[in-house]
Amino acid sequence: MDIAEELLKGNRLALSRAITAIENEYDEATEIMRQIYPHTGHAYVLGITGPPGAGKSTLTDKIAREYREQGKTVGIIAVDPTSPFTGGAILGDRIRMNGLTLDEGVFIRSMGTRGSLGGLSHKTADAVKAMDAFGKDIIIVETVGVGQSEVDIVKAGRYNGCCTDPWYGR
């Protein structure tokens, strides 16, 4: 399967595989990003952050449902603590969004922080780009529970039209 080509056609499995490749820094991740990058910049990105237990997942669920009622497609990246056993996300946030999992217009992806401070994974911005290229109208990024100085979510939405990341040659 050509992951980038299938992602651009709307194949959900290809989106999952692309994010996995990006997150795990597989060899094909760079090529996937190169192919999908011209198709980004269309989604509205919304960040949800706050201290643990503040209701971030509940708010994310309610916002996603509201956008779905408006006919918008929604991507959700839920950044969770990293499991010390698998290195992946602990998946606690998904439990509070269980009602959205059967909605074909919603794509939920959990990502572990993998030791990154700031409330996000290092690969969150690239996962947002993958969901954008996939065609999601709205992308909600829910950070792991944060304190007062973990504000990486502010930077995550700045890629639309103003990316200066040398990875993309801009």
Q: Strand ranges (DSSP E) for 59-100? A: 74-80
Q: In 10 A of CB 10, how many CB atoms?
A: 11
Task: Evaluate whether residue 23 is within a structural domain.
Answer: no
Question: Is 112 within the bounds of a domain?
Answer: yes
Domain membership flag for residue 37: no
Q: Which domain holds residue 56?
A: 42-159
| Overall domain count for the chain | 1
Residue 96 forms part of a structural domain? yes
Q: Residue-wise pLDDT tens for the chain (170 aa)? A: 799 999 999 999 999 999 999 988 899 999 999 999 999 999 999 988 888 778 888 899 999 999 999 999 999 998 876 554 455 545 555 555 667 777 899 999 988 765 555 445 568 889 999 999 999 999 999 887 665 444 455 555 554 444 434 333 33
Does the residue 7 lie in any domain?
Answer: no
The per-residue b/e assignment along 115-153, b for 16 or more CB within 10 angstroms, e otherwise, is ebebbbbebbbbbbbbbbbbbbbbbbbbbbbbeeebebb
CATH assignment at residue 90 = 3.40.50.300
pTM: 0.78
Domain membership of residue 51 (yes or no) is yes
Cβ neighbours around 79 below 10 Å, total: 30
Contact by Cβ (8 Å): 46, 63: yes
Beta strands in 70-144 (DSSP E): 74-80, 106-112, 138-142
Tell me if 145 is assigned to some domain: yes
Q: Which helix (H) or strand (E) element contains residue 94?
A: helix 92-95
In a domain, 31, yes or no: no
